[in-house]
Structure 1
Amino acid sequence: MIKRLLSFEWKQFSRSSYFKKGIAIKILLAFAVLYFGGMALLLGGSLFFILKKTIPETDPMTTVNSFLFFWFIFDFMLRYFMQQLPVMNVKPLMIIPVKRNTVIYYLLGKTSVSFFNILPLFIVVPFTIVLLVQGYPVIPVLAWLIGFVAITGSINFINFLVNKNNVVFYVVLALVATFGVLEYYSIFKISEPMGYAFNYMYAHPYLVVVPIVALVALFNATFHFIKKGFYLDDAISKKVKEVSTTDLSWLNRFGAVAPFLKNDIKLIQRNVRPRQVMMMSFMFLFYGLVFYTQDTYREMPALLAFASMFITGGFLMTFGQYVPSWDSEYYKLLMSQNIPYKTYLESKWYLMVVAVLFSFILSTPYIYFGWDIFGMIAAGAVFNIGLNSFLTLFGGALNRVPIELNVKAKAFSNTNGFNPTQLLIGLPKFLLPMLIFYVPYKLINFNAGLIALALVGVLGIVFRPYIFNKIEQVYQKGKYKTIAAFSEKQ
């Protein structure tokens, strides 16, 4: 039956209109896997000798065990923000004689062979082989390896429960935050007893049964959690909610674009995915703290120009890149109305501009780092409005992947609506401002770089009608291809 389920998924993928785009994404992911896998193998094979050279007075195994707690925390955080949970259309399977347990085992099997579970093996397996070659006892080393793999698998199922159950999410969040604060202020270093525990398990290999039992328990907990809601009635029932209305009449002053602005605001208010992306976009406001607080970056102004794009352009780069996919569920209706395409595009542009201006206002505390830094943020805001906003709209003309508005998934990792073309369109948004700033900065001075960056944005605003006409032509040319692509659900 598992073989047949795999066959169903392959047929669904290969027969769809987005097959070529899916192949492109998977090729990019394959290259990423090869790169990171190769780096992990290199690290795993050389880790023993690096530790032996840098910390000769301590056994490399002991050193590794003392840092395993931080590795597992990093692993969990990376999974939470990046790992895409397995999805499958199970409704058709519920009305045919297929055992629920089989489908659930298949889903859990998919998440067990995740890249995030395999990558650590590229580090610990070579490290284990080196230990054995160096004469370490076989049974303790293998027990340590099994324990590491079991804890990695346990984190996988914890991540699954955290994403699906609010109670588990808040409990885990409270534990991580508590131990993080205690560790940071040296009140209680949880990393030390964790290191002792692994050293003790290495000295007493029979204790490997503890992480194995934890893995089995978490697997069963995840299995029963999925099974509890695995019923046809639960899958097809609609949750009835009281609809609240918002008075958006004040938007009428924007004229013809007002109905579209109202529609976008309601879309963000009422749907999971756009609300998720909008909240994530405000995290970009703190991006400058990574660069402006480090003297190393202060000596590389081109990187500061790179950071300034993100501070005010979070909404533009997250929400904006999915135009017009946000409207994919009712795109046919929009295109059947007697509405100029330019008006539709202008509404999206105004929304991004307001978001950039609002982010700029919220960024005023960066004055603390100096007026030169705040001036760069201001120049970045003008550049985002005058050029990056148009690049974003142009990229949308090539984006024909629909979005399911109420699919709750990680905003960082959800590839629903993703198009590899966005990667190519996104490069100028990051690299161009660095180049425009750096050349005048190097030839003249810092202020010349800021003026050049802002001037490009001002020119974009001045030539906005001409740019809009060109972008509209691209949208009009691919209009019916976009409608056809949005009609097919992934």
Structure 2
Amino acid sequence: MIKQFLSLEWKQFKRASYFQKGLVIKIFLILGALYFGGIALFMGVGMFFIAKKAIPDVDPIITVNNFLIYWFLFELLIRYFMQQLPVMNVKPLMTIPIKRDTVIHYLLGKTTLSFFNFLSLFLFLPFSIVLLVKGYPVINVFCWFLSIIFVTLSINFLNFLVNKSNTVFYIAAPLLLGLIALEFYGIYAASEPIGFAFNTLYNLPYLAIIPVLLLVVLYQLNFKYIKKGFYLDDAVSKKIKEVEATDLSWFDRFGSIAPFLKNDIKLIWRNARPKQTMMMSFMFLFYGLIFYTQDMYREMPAILAFASMFVTGGFLMTFGQLVPSWDSEYYKMLMSQNIPYRQYLESKWYLMVVAVAISFILSTPYIFFGWDIFGMIAAGALFNIGLNSFITLFGGALNRMPVELNTKAKAFSNTNGFNPTQMLIALPKFLLPMGLFYIPYKIVNFETGILVLALSGVIGIVFKNFFLRKIENVYQDGKYKTIAAFSEKK
């Protein structure tokens, strides 16, 4: 029966109208998995020696155990935002003599094949092999490794349960940042008690039964949760959803584009996919911490310019790149109204501008790294408003992939709405700010590079009407192709 399920899914994928697009996406996903898998293997091999060099007086296995809690919290967050949970059309199977238990076991079994499960395997298997080569007890290392894998699979099924709730984000994200901050400033070493538990797990191999029991419990909870709603009446019954009304009258001050702005705010507030995207765009604010905290990047200012653009460009990069796909479900109706295309595009531009402005205000704490860094962030914000926003809108004219607003897939793992053309359009977003800063920086000095990057944004704002008019023409030329593409049912 499992073989039959696999055959049906392959036929569904191969015969779909979007087969070529899906094939390209899967090729990119495979290449990405190979890349990150290779990094994990490399880190797994070197983890023993890195731990030994960082804390020479402590056994590397103890050091790794002390910091495993951060790995698992980080994994939970990444899974919540990026893991694509398995989807299967079960309605036709409900009317034929196939056991529900078989279908549910198949669905849950598919989750174990997630790349995120293999990531832990790639990371901790080489580390375990190094431990064995160094003479550590075989039974202890083997049971410890199995415990890590069982905990990873437990997190996989835990994510399955909580993926429909934002509670996990509000708990895990502050907890992870808080624990790291307390550890960094020496206030409280949260790694010690957690590390003690994992060290005990290593020293007493028979305790590996605990992660196994945890995995069994979470699997059973998932099984019961799915089986509870696995009925034909539940699948076809009409779902009634209450919509919370919000007073958006203050948007009327924006004049003719106010209806579009209100519509976008409601779209983000009421639908799963755009809400997830907005939440993830907030994480871009912390992107600079990767670069500004490392002295090595001080000698690569072009990379700093790239990071500075990202700090304030989260919403623009995530939400903006899917304009007009966000409106795909009612795009035909929208285009049938007596509405100037210019107002539609201008409302999207203002939405991105406001998001960049809010991100810039929230980035104020970066002053701690120096006024030169904050000046670069300010220049990056102007670039995002004056040029990057128009590049993003232009890219939207070439994007004709619909987006399902309330899809259960995660914002970053969901390739619905993805177009390989977006990757080509993204190149100017990354390379242009680096070039605008680096060339004058190399010829004159650092301050001149910041000034040129900022002026490029100012020029874009001055010529806003020109850019919008050109982009409007591109949208108008492809209007009916876009309507046809959005109307195609998958």
- TM-score normalised according to structure 1 size: 0.86
In the other structure, the counterpart of 1:378 is 378
Name whichever of 128-137 and 142-151 sits farther off.
Answer: 128-137
How many pairs are equivalent?
489
In the other structure, the counterpart of 1:467 is 467
In the other structure, the counterpart of 2:252 is 251
- Kept after mapping to 1: 8 A contact 2:77/2:173: no
Distance 2:286 2:168 in 1: 27
Matches within 5 A, 1:192-341: 192-235=192-235, 236-241=237-242, 244=245, 246-248=247-249, 250-251=251-252, 253-255=254-256, 257-288=257-288, 291-292=291-292, 297-298=297-298, 300-341=300-341
Is 1:97 aligned to residue 97 of structure 2?
yes
- Kept after mapping to 2: 8 A contact 1:251/1:261: no
Task: Tell me: CA distance 1:165–1:479, structure 2 relative to 1, closer, same or farther (3 Å).
Answer: closer
Map Cα deviations across residues 198-217 of structure 1 (whole Å, 9 max, x no partner).
Answer: 44444433222222111111
Distance 1:365 1:311 in 2: 12
In the other structure, the counterpart of 1:387 is 387
Q: CA deviation at 1:116?
A: 0.8
Name whichever of 9-18 and 190-199 sits farther off.
Answer: 190-199
In the other structure, the counterpart of 1:126 is 126
- Kept after mapping to 2: 8 A contact 1:395/1:422: yes
Task: Tell me: CA distance 1:67–1:453, structure 2 relative to 1, closer, same or farther (3 Å).
Answer: closer
Letter in structure 2 aligned against 1:426: A
Distance 1:286 1:139 in 2: 41
Distance 1:154 1:169 in 2: 18
Name whichever of 292-301 and 210-219 sits farther off.
Answer: 292-301
In the other structure, the counterpart of 1:73 is 73
Task: Tell me: CA distance 1:139–1:287, structure 2 relative to 1, closer, same or farther (3 Å).
Answer: closer
Distance 2:457 2:135 in 1: 64
Letter in structure 2 aligned against 1:467: F
Letter in structure 2 aligned against 1:216: V
Q: CA deviation at 1:63?
A: 4.3
Letter in structure 1 aligned against 2:247: T
- Kept after mapping to 2: 8 A contact 1:161/1:168: no
Task: Tell me: CA distance 1:393–1:61, structure 2 relative to 1, closer, same or farther (3 Å).
Answer: same
Map Cα deviations across residues 312-346 of structure 1 (whole Å, 9 max, x no partner).
Answer: 32222121111010100011112333444334323
Q: CA deviation at 1:194?
A: 4.1
Task: Tell me: CA distance 1:474–1:95, structure 2 relative to 1, closer, same or farther (3 Å).
Answer: farther
Name whichever of 102-111 and 233-242 sits farther off.
Answer: 233-242
SS at match of 1:405: coil
Task: Tell me: CA distance 1:33–1:135, structure 2 relative to 1, closer, same or farther (3 Å).
Answer: same
Name whichever of 114-123 and 5-14 sits farther off.
Answer: 5-14
SS at match of 1:407: coil
Is 1:14 aligned to residue 14 of structure 2?
yes
Name whichever of 178-187 and 237-246 sits farther off.
Answer: 178-187
Is 1:112 aligned to residue 109 of structure 2?
no
Q: CA deviation at 1:362?
A: 4.8
Q: CA deviation at 1:112?
A: 0.8
Distance 2:251 2:75 in 1: 47
Name whichever of 376-385 and 429-438 sits farther off.
Answer: 376-385
Distance 1:324 1:204 in 2: 57
Map Cα deviations across residues 115-174 of structure 1 (whole Å, 9 max, x no partner).
Answer: 111122223333434444555444333222222211111121122223245777777679
Map Cα deviations across residues 170-223 of structure 1 (whole Å, 9 max, x no partner).
Answer: 776797688667756767645334444444444433222222111111111222
SS at match of 1:98: coil
Letter in structure 2 aligned against 1:83: Q
Name whichever of 28-37 and 112-121 sits farther off.
Answer: 28-37
Distance 1:166 1:253 in 2: 32
Distance 1:286 1:371 in 2: 17
Name whichever of 426-435 and 402-411 sits farther off.
Answer: 402-411
Map Cα deviations across residues 366-419 of structure 1 (whole Å, 9 max, x no partner).
Answer: 556555444433332322222111110111122222111123554343333222
- Kept after mapping to 2: 8 A contact 1:44/1:122: yes
Name whichever of 169-178 and 387-396 sits farther off.
Answer: 169-178
Distance 1:361 1:459 in 2: 22
Name whichever of 90-99 and 178-187 sits farther off.
Answer: 178-187
- Identity percentage of aligned residues: 68
Distance 2:330 2:32 in 1: 35
In the other structure, the counterpart of 1:427 is 427
In the other structure, the counterpart of 1:159 is 159
- Kept after mapping to 1: 8 A contact 2:77/2:172: no
Name whichever of 150-159 and 274-283 sits farther off.
Answer: 274-283
- Kept after mapping to 2: 8 A contact 1:18/1:401: no
In the other structure, the counterpart of 2:349 is 349
- Kept after mapping to 2: 8 A contact 1:160/1:222: yes
SS at match of 2:70: helix
- TM-score normalised according to structure 2 size: 0.86
Q: CA deviation at 1:249?
A: 7.0
Distance 2:170 2:374 in 1: 37
Q: CA deviation at 1:290?
A: 5.0
SS at match of 1:144: helix
- Kept after mapping to 1: 8 A contact 2:273/2:407: yes
Task: Tell me: CA distance 1:108–1:344, structure 2 relative to 1, closer, same or farther (3 Å).
Answer: same
Task: Tell me: CA distance 1:260–1:52, structure 2 relative to 1, closer, same or farther (3 Å).
Answer: closer
Gaps of 5+ in 1: none
- Kept after mapping to 2: 8 A contact 1:161/1:169: no
Name whichever of 103-112 and 183-192 sits farther off.
Answer: 183-192
Letter in structure 2 aligned against 1:448: T
Q: CA deviation at 1:14?
A: 2.0
Distance 1:178 1:160 in 2: 25
- Kept after mapping to 2: 8 A contact 1:268/1:275: yes
Q: CA deviation at 1:56?
A: 6.8
Letter in structure 2 aligned against 1:44: G
Letter in structure 1 aligned against 2:204: H
Please provide the CA RMSD for this pair: 3.3
SS at match of 1:486: helix
- Kept after mapping to 2: 8 A contact 1:163/1:169: no
Letter in structure 2 aligned against 1:440: P
